[in-house]
Structure 1
Amino acid sequence: MNIRKDVLPVQVTDLTKRFGSFTALDGVSFTVKPGETVALLGRNGAGKSTLIGCLMGFLVPDQGSVDLFGQNVLDLPRDLRARTGFVPQTMTGFGAFTVGKLIDYIGAFYGTLPPIDPTILRWADLDPKKIVKSLSGGQRQRLAILLAMRHEPDFLVLDEPVASLDPHARRDFMNLLGDYARRTGASVLISSHILSDLERLCSRLLFLRQGQLVLDVPTAVFRATTRWLDHATPHALSDLPFQIIGQRETGFLVHGWSEDVILPEGTTISVPDFEDAFLEITATRAA
Structure 2
Amino acid sequence: MSSFCVDNRTSSVTEIILLGFSVTRDQHICLFTIFLIIYILTILANVLIMIVVYCDHHLHNPMYFLLSNFAFLEICYTSVTVPKMLSDLIAQNPFISVTGCIIQYHFFSLCAATEHFLLVIMAYDRYVAICYPLHYGSTMTLKKCAQLVFMCWLISAVSLSAPAFSVSRLYFCGPNIIDHFFCEFNPLLQLSCTDTFILQIIFSFLAWVIILGCLICISVSYASIISTIIRIPSNLGKRKAFSTCASHIAVVGIFYGTVIFIYLTPTVTAPFHHNKAVSIFYILVTPMLNPIIYCFKNESLREAASNCMYRIKMFL
Normalised by the length of structure 1, the TM-score is 0.27
Q: Quick check: which one's strand share is greater?
A: 1
Higher helix share: 2
Higher relative contact order (CA 8 A, sep 6+): 2
